[in-house]
Amino acid sequence: MITQPDITLSRRVFSGDRKAFEELYKAYFMRLLAYVRRFTESEEDAEDVVQHGFMKLWETVQRRLEEHKPIREQDSIQDLLFIIVRNTTLNYLRDHAALAERIIQMNADEFREELYATSVMTSPDEDTIYKELCACVNALVMRMPARRREIFVLSRDSQLKNQEIADRLGISVKAVEKHITAALKFLRENLPQEYLLLLALCLQCP
């Protein structure tokens, strides 16, 4: 939920207030840099991505002003900023396909923790993306062998660690790891390319 100060800041930035834009920059730059840094090969690349995102945001604001688009009550400059930085990061990953693949090939525990962690994105557009991604993942999960599906669901939905799953099912930790690794491989091989990049960006499937 957007607080009153955030609403005021949104209106000021959407109105072309450069000082308000500087306040937004100072408030969110480090947060976004920490987020993007997980998906880039260097601190410099992460800074370039975030800087480019802020530049795109200001260009968007200027274009709205030129087109005389009204500021709606629900408009949030923060949500727009996050979406632009998300898209800028996606473009970076598309240009660094090998890096995106390494992120996707994280070990099972990292994958579970990252994929289902809360993202900085909270806009309705992001909710739609989450639902689309989850629908694809869930449909593929249903195609997995019964035991593999059971283990993956315990890892994903119940957020159990590998040892906890092994204890519950009476199997070895290595067997759990083998099933989860196979499940992730199956997802990588069958999800559309655009969803692989979204997986790399740690979108949440609630």
Q: Where are the domains of the chain?
A: 4-95, 108-200
Q: Give yes or no for residue 83 having a pLDDT over 50.
A: yes
What is the distance in angstroms between the CA of the first residue and the CA of the last residue of the chain?
A: 18
Which residue, 196, 167, 197, 163, is CA-closest to 177? 163
Beta strands in 47-119 (DSSP E): none
pTM over 0.85: no
Name the percent of the chain lying above pLDDT 90: 25
pLDDT band at 198 (very low <50, low <70, confident <90, very high): low
> Is the CB of residue 129 less than 8 Å from the CB of residue 192?
no
What is the chain's mean pLDDT, rounded?
A: 76
Which residue, 144, 136, 132, is CA-closest to 180? 144
The pLDDT of residue 112 is 43
The pLDDT of residue 116 is 41
Which residue, 202, 19, 12, 7, is CA-closest to 100? 202
- Beta-carbon-side half-sphere exposure of residue 51 (alpha carbons within 13 Å): 6
Q: Is 81 exposed, middle or buried (0-12, 13-18, 19+ CB in 10 A)?
A: buried
pLDDT band at 120 (very low <50, low <70, confident <90, very high): very low
Q: Average pLDDT, stretch 172-176?
A: 93
Q: How far apart are CA 192 and CA 135, in angstroms?
A: 12
Q: Give yes or no for residue 193 having a pLDDT over 60.
A: no
Question: Domain 108-200 belongs to what architecture?
Answer: Orthogonal Bundle (1.10)
**Topology, domain 4-95:** Rna Polymerase Sigma Factor; Chain: A (1.10.1740)
> Is the CB of residue 30 less than 8 Å from the CB of residue 86?
no
